[in-house]
Structure formats: structure tokens, C-alpha cells
Structure 1
Amino acid sequence: MKNFNFQNPTRILFGKGRIADLNDQIPSDAKVMILFGGGSAERSGVLGQIREALAGRTLVEFGGIEPNPRYATALKAVDMINENNVDFLLAVGGGSVIDATKFIAAATKYEGDAWEILTSYGSVIKEAMPFGSVLTLPATGSEMNSGGVITNPEKEAKLPFNSSHCFPVFSVLDPEITYTLPPRQVANGVVDAFVHTMEQYLTYPSAAYVQDGFAETLLRTLIELGPKALETPKDYDIRSNLMWTATLALNGLIGAGVPQDWASHMIGHEITALNDTDHARTLAVVLPSLMNDQRDRKREKLLQYAANVWNIRDGSEDARIDAVIDSTRRFFEQMGIKTHLSDYAIGAPEIDHIVNALKEHGMTTLGEHDAITPEDARRILNAAL
């Protein structure tokens, strides 16, 4: 196991009716901006619950944050914060809204060009406004980590950032408010959490037995409960376990002291930047192809994954690896997510664009060995057609 530092300061308020506890989590003299996406937060009653919980406070509302949050939209929020002297932010939504809020919290305090936050991948962040979140879509784990991703269509860029200043102060996780999510969003959330886990697990052995066991439990839970969540959307036990699994998949625990990959994410980001494909769907395309392409480098962990997650123990090593890659792909398809680029209107010309974008954004040495080049990405994408 590698040396590591681990600290996660986010307070989690988990369970039914926890929005009612919001008032105690925010300083009494704070002027609060509520940030959200489209109309679903209003229609579902979540915003109403929040307004009730914060009755008597000075509130400012900023809506319209996109599913792949846009840089320009975030800057509009920064302007509104400055105009209204806001000093606490409350993100209401899934990973996109929380990611945007993290960027906004940092950009409000940054004196230079806010684009530098993204081109430096967050290294220039020295402070950020305090913020909390009310999670409505379990998927990204953004409610309990310090990273985010912002899209700039004008630059055809989707860039990640990370800073210790960007942890939420608190996050409210009420599984009941996920009951009305469309099946597409439920499926995306399950696959997103699955691939987050795989990026930290499917690398090479590092004698991190606790992290491996934890990751394998999260993967088995997603495989078992993901399809059931589509079948019985108002089962509290299923929804609560999926919500907590998605949070644990990317709150730092399973990634502490282990090598990490993240190549599927970096390649997937360029697909989204190109044609706005749902983030989770890009991952469902890239990961199985990358697993096969990198099977020699990942051989030991692929065999461990086959045995401990899918109970595939018979046959030759290559046969087991083939079987587990096929099982992974079929799981994504079972969740209703297509796993080939052709399903998303991407062919050879678009692959050329994606490869060039990786080069432009400095994504030239990806993976746990820093060995996946843009030309390797081209091969992985061609195999995913």
C-alpha cells in the first residue's frame, strides 16, 4: 500500500426528512444562494422543502445549471453572488449542480481569469466560499469530495479540477427524494458510480486489502441493486443503499493508498465535449474496450475482479478475462445503456477529433502507468465502434 493522506471534512446528513435539518447547518447570519438545475427540483417539491427549512432567511436563487455544467453559466452565478453579497452557497441537485457550485465557490474568490482554475486542474485555488449540498441524484460522489468537471462548448473542452478547498461543508442525502428520478438518470447514476469504483480498483495489486474488499462490495451492490432500482423505484432500502454506495465510491476511502487509472474518464470527457453525450454513457462505451485493450497490464486485477465480483473462477485466464469483460458490458446494457460509439453517432472522423482534443488538453500519458497515449486511446475507441 502506498503512503497517503486522508481527510474528508464533509458532514453527511443521511435519511428521511433530513432537509428539515438544513437551518442548523448554515451560519445564522449567512446570505444564502440556492443553486439548481432545471424545473425538476421545483416540481419534485425539494425546493419547497428547502425554502420551508430556511424560512426567515435572506435567500437568492440561481437556476439553469446544465447536466454538463457550462463555464459561462457558472460565471453568471459568480456575478450574481457579487451583486447580492452572498456568503454561503447551497447546491440542490446531482453531480452537475454540485460540481458547478464548487467551481463557482472557487471562482468567486479567485482574482485572476477563472479559466485558469480549469487549465491548472484546480492547483491555483487557494480559497473558496463555503457551501453545502442537497443531493437529488446519486451518481458522482461530488457531495463528499473535492473535485468537479466543467464544460466549455466554445473551447470544446470538458476539464476536471480538484482542490482541498472545495469539499462541501455538509451534504443532505434523503433517498426518498430520488423516487421520481427518470429511469435514464437512475441508470446513469449506477453506471457512473460503478466506473468510479473501477477507476480506483482495476489497476494492479498494491496489497491494499481493505480498499480492494471495500471496492468489491460496492461493485457487487451496484450489480445487484441497479436493475432492481429500475423495477421498483420506490423501494427505500434499495434507494438508500444505492445513494450511499455512490457517495462511498468517490469520497476518498477506496482510493487511499492505491494506484488509480481514470483514463476512461478523460477519454469520456472528450466525447461529452464533442456531442454532449451523457457522462455515464461515455464511460459505458470506453471502459469495456479499455479493459480489453489493457488486459495484460491489468491481468491480475481483472482475474481478481472476475472471481470476487462476478464469481467467474473456471477456465483459462484469458477465458475468464473475456467473460468478465462481457459481463461488465452486459450489466451496462441491462441498465439500458448502450456500449458502442456507433450508438451515439460517433465514427472515425469523430474519433480523430477526440484524439486531437486529448493532445490539446495535455491528456497524453493516461492510466495507472501513465502509459496510455492519444494513439492508444484511438485504438481503444476504434475497438468500441
Structure 2
Amino acid sequence: MLNFEYYNPTKIVFGAGTTAALSRLVPETARVLLLYGGASAEKTGTLADVRAALAGRVVHEFGGIEPNPSFETLEGAIAQVRAEKLDYLLAVGGGSVIDGTKFVAAAAVYDGDAWEVASSRGAVVQRALPFGAVLTLPATGSEMNNGAVVTRKATHTKQPFRSEHLFPKFSILDPTRSYSLPLKQVANGLVDAFVHTTEQYLTYPAQALPQDRFAEGLLQTLVEIAPRALAAPDDYDTRSNLMWAASLALNGLIGAGVPQDWATHMIGHELTALYNIDHARTLAIVLPALLQVRRDSKRDKLLQYGARVWGITDGSEEERIDAAIARTRAFFESVGIPTRLSGYGLGQEAVEAVLAQLAAHGMGKLGERRDINLDVSRAILQSAL
């Protein structure tokens, strides 16, 4: 097991009806900016419940944070925080809203160019406004970690960043808030959590036995609950397991003491920035292709993954690896998500465009061994056609 430091100060309040806990979690003297996405939070009554729980506090609102939150949109929230002298943020939504809120929390108190918060990957962040979250879409794990991603539309740059100052103070996880989600978003959440887990697990053995078993349990859970998560939107137990599994997939626990990949994410980010494909859907395109191209360097863990997650124990090593990759692709497709660029009408032109972006953004050394250069990325994208 590799050396590691693990720290996660986010308080989780889990269960039905827990939005009311905002009344004790947000300081009574706070001047709050409530951040959210589109109209769904209003239609479902979530915002009404949040406003009721915040009664007596100064509350301003900022809506319209889009999927893959943009720097251009978030500049408006930063200006509002400064103009109204607000000192507490509350995100109501999924990972995009929470990611955007993290950016605002840091940028609103940063003296330089706000984009440096992201372009420095968080290195310039010395402090941030306190913030909490009310999760409505289980997927990214942003509700329980210190990382985020924002996009600068003007340059098609999707930039990840993190800082120890960007953990939510608390996150409210009420599975009933996910009942009204479109099935497309539920499917995205399943895939997002699955790939977050594999990015930390499908690398090379580090003798981190608890982390391996935690990761395998999460993957098995996601596979098990996927059909019912789509077929029975109001099944509380299923949605509870999905919400908690998505948080556990990226709260730092299964990544402690193990090598991590994240090449699927870095390549996927470029697809989102260029073609506006949902984040999780880019992951479903890239991961099976990456596993195929990197099968030799990931051999030991692919065999372990095949045996422990999918029960694949018969055949030669090559046959078992083939089967494990095929089962991965089939899982994504079983929830209605295409796994090839052609599924989005993209061909060779997309390969060249993504490679140009990877080069422009310094992404020439990816993966757990830092040996996925642009030639290897080309092979992965070709395999994804």
C-alpha cells in the first residue's frame, strides 16, 4: 500500500426529510447565496423546502448553472456575492451545481483573475467561503470531496481543480429528491459512479486489500441496482444505495494508498468541451477503449476485476480480459448509454480534435504510470470509434 493522508471533514446528513436540517446547519447570521441549475428544483418543491428551512436568514439566489458549469455563467454569481456582501453559499442540485459553487466559493475571495482558481488546478486557493449542499442528483461525488471541474466556453477548456479549502461543510442526501430525475440522468449517475471507482481500482496491484474490496463492492452494488434504479424511480432503498454509492466512489476513501488513473476523465473532458456530450457519456465511450489498449499494463487488475466483479473465471487470461471489457461495455449499454464515438455521429475528425486539445492542455502524460502519451491517446480514441 502506498503512503497516504486521508482527510474528509464533510458532514453527511442522510435520509428522507432531511432538508429541514438546514435550519441548524446554516448559521442564523449567514448571508446566503442559494445556487441551483434549471427549473426542476423549483418544480419539484426542493427550493421551496430549502427556502423554508432558511427562514430568517438573508437569502439571495442565483439560478441557471448549466451541466458542465461554465466560467462565463459563474462570473455572475461571483459578482453577486461581492455586490451583496454574501458570506455563505448553498448548492442545490447535482455535481455541476456543487462544482460551480466550489469555484464561486474560492473565486469570490480571490484577489487575482478568477480563472486562475481553475487554471492553477486550485494551487492559488488559500481560503474560500463556507458552503453546503443539498444533493438532488447522485453521480459525481462532489458533495463529499474537495474537487471540481469548470469549463471556459471561450476556449473549450474543461479544467479540474481541488483544494483542501473546498470541502463542503455539510451535504444533505435525501434519496427522495432523486425520484423525479429523468432516466437519462439516472443512467449518467450510474456510469459516473462506476467509472470514478474504476479510475482508482483498475490500475496495478498495490496490496491495498481493503481499498480493493471496497471498490469491488461499490461496482457490484451499482451493477445490481442499475435495472431497478431505472425501472422503479420511487424505490427508496434502491435510490438510497445509488446516492450513497456515488458519494463513496469519490470521497477519497477507495483512492487512499493506491495508484490512480484518471486518463478516461481527462480524455472525456475534451469530448465534453468540444461536443457538449454529457460527462458520464464520454466516460462510457473512453473507458472500454482504454481498457482494451492498456490491457497489458492493467493485466493483473483486469483479471481480478473480471473474477471478483463479474465472476469470470473460465478461459485463458486473454479470454477473461476480453470478457471483462465486454461486460463493462455491455453494462453501460444496458442503461442506454452508447459506448462509441459513432453513437454520437463522430468519426476520425473527433479523434484529431481531441488530440489537439489534449496537446494544447498539456495532457501528454496520463494514466497511473504517466505513460499515456498522445500516441497512446490516439490509439484509445481510434479504438472508441
Which residue in 1 is equivalent to 2:100? 100
Shift of 1:232: 0.9
Letter in 1 for 2:35: L
Query: Aligned residue for 1:193?
Result: 193
Match of 1:245 in 2: 245
Alignment of 1:158-169 (within 5 A): 158-169=158-169
Aligned residues: 385
1:72 aligns with 2:72: yes
Secondary structure at the aligned position of 1:98 is classed as helix
Secondary structure, counterpart of 1:137 in structure 2: coil
Distance in structure 1 (CA, Å) of the matches to 2:113 and 2:326: 46
1:277-327 residue CA offsets vs partner (Å, 9 max, x unmatched): 000000000000000100000000000000000000000000000001000
Find out whether 1:350 has 2:350 as its counterpart: yes
Matched with 2:319 is 319
Q: Paired residue for 2:176?
A: 176
> Counterpart amino acid of 1:245?
A
Q: Distance in 2 between matches of 1:119 and 1:19?
A: 34
Hey, which bits of structure 1, 4+ residues long, moved more than 3 A?
A: none
Partner of 1:60: 60
Task: Trace 1:24-35 onto structure 2 (pairs within 5 A).
Answer: 24-35=24-35
Shift, 1:79, TM fit: 0.1
1:252-263 counterparts in 2 under 5 A?
Answer: 252-263=252-263
* More off after superposition, 141-150 vs 226-235: 226-235
Structure 1 counterpart of 2:261, one-letter code: D
Residue 61 of structure 2 aligns to a residue whose secondary structure is strand
The residue that corresponds to 1:147 in the other structure is 147
Aligned to 1:223: 223
The Cα of 1:119 is off from its aligned counterpart by 1.6
**Residue deviations 1:162-199, cap 9 Å, x none?**
11100000000000110010000000000000000000
Letter matched to residue 380 of structure 1: I
Offset at residue 49 of structure 1 (A): 0.4
Does the 8 A contact of 2:220 with 2:309 survive in 1?
A: yes
**2:334 is matched by which residue type in structure 1?**
Q
CA distance in structure 2 between the partners assigned to 1:60 and 1:97 by the alignment: 16
TM-score normalised according to structure 2 size: 0.99
What does residue 273 of structure 2 align with? 273
Tell me how far 1:345 sits from its aligned partner. Answer: 2.1
Look up the SS of the partner of 1:35 in the other structure: strand
Q: How many angstroms apart in 1 are the aligned matches of 2:133 and 2:335?
A: 27
Counterparts of 1:304-315 in structure 2, within 5 Å, are 304-315=304-315
Asked if the contact 2:138–2:246 (Cα under 8 Å) also holds between the matched residues in 1, the reply is yes
1:114 and 1:74 mapped to 2: Cα distance? 10
Q: Distance in 1 between matches of 2:350 and 2:222?
A: 32
Secondary structure at 1:301 match in 2: helix
CA distance in 1, matches of 2:350, 2:214: 37
Name the counterpart of 2:376: 376
Inter-partner Cα distance in structure 1 for 2:116 and 2:200? 27
Q: Partner of 1:112 in structure 2? A: 112
Show CA shifts across 1:323-346 (max 9, x none): 010000000000100000011122
CA distance in structure 2 between the aligned counterparts of 1:346 and 1:17, rounded to whole angstroms: 44
Q: Which amino acid aligns with 2:20?
A: A
- 1:341-377 deviations in whole A, cap 9, x for unaligned? 0111221112111101101111110000000012211
2: distance between equivalents of 1:357 and 1:114?
22
Please give the root-mean-square deviation of Cα atoms over the aligned residues, in Å: 0.6
Contact persistence 2:140–2:193 (CA under 8 A):
yes
Paired residues of 2:4 and 2:256 also in contact (CA < 8 A):
yes
Contiguous gaps of at least 5 residues in structure 2: none
Alignment match, 1:363: 363
Contact 2:72–2:153 at 8 Å: present in 1 too?
no
- 2:108 match: secondary structure: helix
Instruction: Answer whether contact 2:28 2:56 (CA < 8 A) is retained.
Output: no
CA distance in structure 2 between the aligned counterparts of 1:41 and 1:292, rounded to whole angstroms: 40
Which residue in the other structure is 1:264 paired with? Answer: 264
Q: Which amino acid aligns with 2:13?
A: L
